[in-house]
Structure 1
Amino acid sequence: MSLGIAVRNGPAEPVTPWSKEGAFAARSPIRPQSFEFSTGNLPRNEQFEAWRASYASILDLTAPAPVEDGFAAQHQVWDLGSLAFSRVSTNGLAFTGLAGRGRHDPLDHWLFTMLLNGHSTTLAAADRLEGDPGSVQLHPLGRAFEGNISRSEMLMLFVPRDLCRDLAHVLDAAAFSRLEGGMGRIFADYMISLARRLPLLDVSELPELVSATRAMLLACVAPSRERLEEASTSISNMLLERARCYIQANLHDPDLDLKGLLHELGISRSRLYRLFEPTGGVMRYIQHRRLVAAHVALADANDRRRILEIAESCCFSDGAEFSRAFRREFGYSPSEVRAGTHHGAPGWPSLDLDVPTTPTQRLNTLLRRLQG
C-alpha cells in the first residue's frame, strides 16, 4: 500500500562501533513489525467476509451491497508495542461496536480515526458524530455505537486504556467527538507524519515514539499547561511545518500576511514569532522563500519571462527593490542568474557528483541544496 498522504475535501541509520576487524560496519535498521492484508487476492464472493473477519474483535461490519459482487479493501498495520497504527482503504459499509451487539467483553481501546477522503456518520446514544477529511474522531470501543462510512481512506490509531489509565476520564469525556480547533489540526498533522515515518523507523525508536504520541494526544484532547509543556517540542515542530506549507502554497499571493497565517494555525502572534525566530522572523522567511522561487525561475532556461515579470510574480512590485533584496540574499544580481553566470541552487554551488569533492562535503552540499 502506498504511503503518499493526501487529505482531499490534504534517519540516518544507526551505526555500530568498530568491529573486531577494525571495519566500521553499519547496522541495518530493524523495522517495527507490520503486516498487510488486501481482499484483492481472494475470490470476489469471499472478499467481504474476509474483511469482516479481520475486524471481528472490535467491530461488526455490514456490507450495503451484495457481497457476491466483491468488496475492495486493504490495510497496513504497524505494531508499535504499546500502540497500533494502521492505514486503511475500504469500500462503503456499516459498522456496529461490539458493546452494541450484547458482547460483555469488547476490547476497551480508544480509537482515533482520521479520514483522508470519504465521509462517516456515528450514532451513540444522544451523540451524532460526522467525520470529514482532515478531522480526527475519537471512538471508545468499549461503548455502544453504530454508523456507516462511504468509500474511504483513513488513518487509525489504537490507544489501549492501560497506556493512559491515569487520564481515562479525560479521554472518556471526549468520546464520540472530533478534535477541533488548532490543536485538532495539529494532531491530524501528527497522524499523517506517523504514516510517513513508520516505514523508516527503527524499533529502538519505538519507546520515544509512544511517549511522544501519548503526550501529543493528551495535549490535543484536553490541553493543560503541563500537558502542553510535555508535548511542546512535537507541537512546535508540527506548527512550524504547517506554517511552512501554508506559506509555500500561498507564496505568489500578494495578500499573504500574518493575519492569514495566524488564522490558519490558530495560535497567538507571539507564538508565531517564536516559531520563526531562528530564521529571522516570519516576514524574513516569506521574503527568503519568494527570492528562492525567483532564483529558480531566473535559472530556468525555459522560462522566457522578463526579470521584472518574475519579480512581480513573486510579489515584488518594484524592480529596484527586488534587485537589492536579491543581491543581499545571494551575493549576486538577478541579471547574472539570467545570463547563466550563476545557476543551480541559490547561494550554494550545484551538486555535481561527477566533480571531485571531499566525501565529508558531499552530504553538506546536498543538504544545503535541499534546504532551499
Structure 2
Amino acid sequence: MILKDRQPFADSISSAHKIIPQYRFSSCDFARAEQFVAYDNEFAAFGRSRLPPGRYARDGFCAQRVGYLLNGLRVVLGETEAYSFSQVQRPGLATDWGHWVMILRMRGWADVDIEGNSIRFEGYAVEVRHEDQSRCGHLSGGESLFLYLPREKFVGIERLLDGLAQAANSVRAHPLLGCYLGAMGRVLVNSTEADAVSLADATLSMVRASISYSKDAIAEAEMPIMAARFEFARKYIDRNIDSPALSPDGIAAFLAVSRRQLYKIFDSHGGVYSYILTRRLEAAFREILASRGECSISRVAENYGFTDMARFSRAFRARFDCCPTELRVMARREVDRNSFLCWLRGDGPETDVA
C-alpha cells in the first residue's frame, strides 16, 4: 500500500473539510506563447520579470501560485521556472495594506540585490520585505513560500519587523523560522479547515519568537508549534495506519523535520514507535468489534502490520487486558443478546413502538 501525503503539492486527500485555496494562478491556463506575459502582468505590482538569456516567451513558462487564508494570515505557495526580477515604480499598482512578507525558497535559491550587495537566500534563510517593496535579483527554478504578515497582529514589535525588512538585516531572522516555514509549507496542502486556527497560532508564535531572538520567546513558541506538528503527525498516522510502509522516517519526511525533532514531538506521548503501535492496536480493536465477532484475527493483524501473531496477541492483551480472540467472542455475544445494540447498528427490523 502506498503512503499518502508524500508529495507537497499533490491533492492526496479527498475530503470536504480540506483547506480550500482562496487564490490560484497557473500559467497552464494560457496559450504557450502567452504564459510568461500572463505571469509578469499578474504580479507586476511587486516587480517586473524577465526570462534568462536564451529563453523566449514563445517557449512557454511554467508557473503556479496557490494562496491560503489561515485565520487572518495569508500564505502563498509558488512554483516557477527560473527568471530575473527587477524593481518597478508603477503608480496605481502598489498596495497599501501595511503587510510584511517573509519569503522562503523551499527548493532552489534567489540572489537578491540589497543595497548593492547580492545576497543568496536558500535553505532555511528567510527574506523579509515590506509587502509593497520590490527588489532586483535572479530566481532559480523551484518552490517558494510567501507568508504575509498583517501589521495589526504584531503590535509592539513593528520596529523589529521594519528593521528586518531594511537592507541586509533581511538575513538576520532566526534560522529556526525557516525550518518551521518549510515544514508548514509541506503540510499545508493536506491540512483541514479545523487545522487552520492552530496552524496560524503556531506560525504567529514562531514569527514573534524568531524576530525577537529571545530565548524565553522561542521556548514559549515551542508549545503551540509542537502541538500543531503532533496534530499533523497524528492525522498522517491515522490515514496510513494500514500501510506496512508507515514508519518514523516517513513521518519525519512528511513533517520536514529530523528524526531527533520527531522524537521530541512524540516525547510526551510515549515515543513515536509506541504511539504507532498503540494506534494500530486500537484500529485492530475497533475492526474486531465492528465485525461482530465474524472477522479473522490473523487477517486483522496483517491489515495493521503485525506479521507475528504471538507478538500481536501479547501487545493486544497488554493494551486491552484481553486477547483478540476473547474480544471476538465478547463482540459476538453482545450482538446475540443485546437487542438495543442491534437496533443502533440497524440490524433489527424497523418497527414503531407504541
Q: TM-score, normalised by structure 1?
A: 0.56
Checking the alignment, whether the CA contact within 8 Å between 1:115 and 1:154 is kept in structure 2 is yes
**Displacement of 1:267:** 8.1
The range that moved more, 227-236 or 291-300, is 291-300
**Displacement of 1:32:** 9.8
**Displacement of 1:75:** 2.7
For the pair 1:129 / 2:106, whether they are aligned, the reply is no
> What is residue 323 of structure 1 aligned with on the other side?
313
**Displacement of 1:79:** 6.1
> What is residue 149 of structure 1 aligned with on the other side?
140
Q: Of residues 204, 217, 221 in structure 2, which corresponds to 1:227? A: 217
Distance 1:93 1:340, change over 3 A: farther
Distance 1:33 1:193, change over 3 A: closer
Counterpart CA distance in 1 for 2:134 and 2:46 is: 11
- 1:303-346 CA-partner distances (Å, limit 9, x unpaired): 99968x95996497xx655423212324543456899978xxxx
* Aligned ranges 1:108-123 → 2 under 5 Å: 110-114=100-104, 118-123=107-112
For the pair 1:34 / 2:22, whether they are aligned, the reply is yes
Checking the alignment, whether the CA contact within 8 Å between 1:5 and 1:196 is kept in structure 2 is no
For the pair 1:58 / 2:15, whether they are aligned, the reply is no
Describe the SS at the equivalent of 2:34: helix
> What is residue 49 of structure 1 aligned with on the other side?
37
Counterpart CA distance in 2 for 1:33 and 1:246 is: 20
Describe the SS at the equivalent of 1:121: strand
**Displacement of 1:165:** 1.1
For the pair 1:217 / 2:211, whether they are aligned, the reply is no
> What is residue 21 of structure 1 aligned with on the other side?
none
Counterpart CA distance in 2 for 1:115 and 1:96 is: 15
Counterpart code for 2:139: N
Counterpart code for 1:165: E
Counterpart CA distance in 2 for 1:315 and 1:224 is: 49
Distance 1:45 1:281, change over 3 A: closer
> What is residue 337 of structure 2 aligned with on the other side?
none
- 1:256-275 CA-partner distances (Å, limit 9, x unpaired): 79xx9995253896x853x3
Describe the SS at the equivalent of 1:37: strand
**Displacement of 1:58:** 1.4
For the pair 1:264 / 2:259, whether they are aligned, the reply is yes
Counterpart code for 1:219: A
For the pair 1:185 / 2:179, whether they are aligned, the reply is yes
Checking the alignment, whether the CA contact within 8 Å between 1:140 and 1:176 is kept in structure 2 is no
> What is residue 345 of structure 1 aligned with on the other side?
none
* Aligned ranges 1:197-212 → 2 under 5 Å: 200=193
Counterpart CA distance in 1 for 2:181 and 2:225 is: 9
Counterpart CA distance in 2 for 1:321 and 1:41 is: 55
Distance 1:119 1:287, change over 3 A: same
Q: TM-score, normalised by structure 2?
A: 0.58
Structure 1 runs not aligned, ≥5 long: 11-28, 343-348, 357-372
Describe the SS at the equivalent of 1:7: coil
> What is residue 291 of structure 1 aligned with on the other side?
281
Counterpart code for 2:122: E
**Displacement of 1:177:** 6.9
For the pair 1:167 / 2:155, whether they are aligned, the reply is no
Counterpart CA distance in 2 for 1:245 and 1:81 is: 21
Describe the SS at the equivalent of 2:161: helix
Counterpart code for 1:96: F
